[in-house]
Amino acid sequence: MAILSVTGVTKAFGGVVALDGADLSVEPGTLTGLIGPNGAGKSTLFNVISGFIPPDSGSIRFNGVEIAGARADQVTAAGLVRTFQIPRPFARMSVMENLLAYAQRHPGDQLAVSLFNPRRAARAEAEVIDRAHAIAERLGLSAVLDNRANEISGGQKKLVEIGRALMAQPRMILLDEPMAGVNPTLAETIAGHLLGMVKDGITLLLIEHNMGMIGRLCDPVIVMAQGKHLTSGRFSDVAADPGVQEVYMGKRARQA
C-alpha cells in the first residue's frame, strides 16, 4: 500500500491554477523523484501536502489517514515533514536551538508535566538534546552547533534544514531542492545522507532539478506539468518519453 497518495488535488491563487487535479502515489521505503518544469506546481504540492496551505479540493492520504486540510503541526505529528526550497532557519537562534525547535512535541514538553513530573520532563528534554547531537554529528554540523543560523554557509543551512526534518523522527520527508545552489562536493554529501535516510527506513520524495542526480538516486520518478501528473516510472523511461521532453522543451521555447 502507498504511504502517501494524493488524488485530484486542486489549488488556485487568484486566477493562477497551480494544482489542477494533481495525483501522486509514493510507495514506502522508496526515494521517489518529483520533477517537472518551473511552475509545474511541485512546491505548491509540497505546501498543500505538508499542511502549510489548504487545498481547494482533493484527497491526501498518509498511512491510510486523510490529511487534506490538516494543519502543518498535525501532519508533522502524523510522521510527515518537509524541507523548504529556500532554507528558513530562525536566523537569530543557534543551529542547536533551530534543531530543538523542530523536535516533535513529547508529553514532557507540556507545562503540566514539567510542573507535576519534573523528572520526566527533564528526561524528555535530555532525550531531545541527545537526538540533536546525534543528528548534527551525522550531518557534519557538530562544529557549528553554537553558531547563529545566519552565520553558517549556504550549504550548512541546507544541512540544518535536513536536520530539522530529522528531529521530528518522521516516517517520510518531502525534500524541496535540498541540493540547489550548493557546490558539487556538498551535493554528493547530501546525496549520501539521503541514501542513508532511506536505508534507515524513511521514505523520501525529492524535488531536484539536477537530472543526473535524479537518475542516480530516484526510483521511481514522477513527472508533473501544469499542475498535474504527467507520467511516472523509471528515470530512463520517463526521460525518453517524448511527452516529458516536450514539456521541458516547450517551457524553454516559451522562455526564449
By the rule CB under 6 A, 8 interacts with ligand ADP: no
Q: How far is the CB of 104 from ligand ADP (least distance, A)?
A: 27
By the rule CB under 6 A, 214 interacts with ligand ADP: no
By the rule CB under 6 A, 9 interacts with ligand ADP: no
How many residues of this chain bind ligand ADP (CB under 6 A)?
11
Q: How far is the CB of 163 from ligand ADP (least distance, A)?
A: 23
Residue 28, preceding peptide bond in cis (omega within 30° of 0): no
Residue type, 172: M
Answer yes or no: are the C-beta atoms of 176 and 46 closer than 8 Å.
yes
Residues numbered 38-97 forming contacts with ligand ADP, rule: CB under 6 A = 38-44
Residue 57's binding partner out of ligand ADP, Mg ion, none, with CB under 5 to 8 Å set by partner kind? none
By the rule CB under 6 A, 155 interacts with ligand ADP: no
Q: Which stretch binds ligand ADP (CB under 6 A): 35-43, 112-120, 127-135, 237-245?
A: 35-43
Nearer to ligand ADP, 18 or 31 (CB): 18
Position among 33, 36, 58, 178 found at the interface with ligand ADP (CB under 6 A): 36
By the rule CB under 6 A, 18 interacts with ligand ADP: yes
Q: How far is the CB of 176 from Mg ion (least distance, A)?
A: 6
- Distance CA(201)–CA(205), nearest Å, equals 13
Residue 40's binding partner out of ligand ADP, Mg ion, none, with CB under 5 to 8 Å set by partner kind? ligand ADP
Where do contacts with ligand ADP occur on this chain (CB under 6 A)? Answer: 13, 16, 18, 36, 38-44
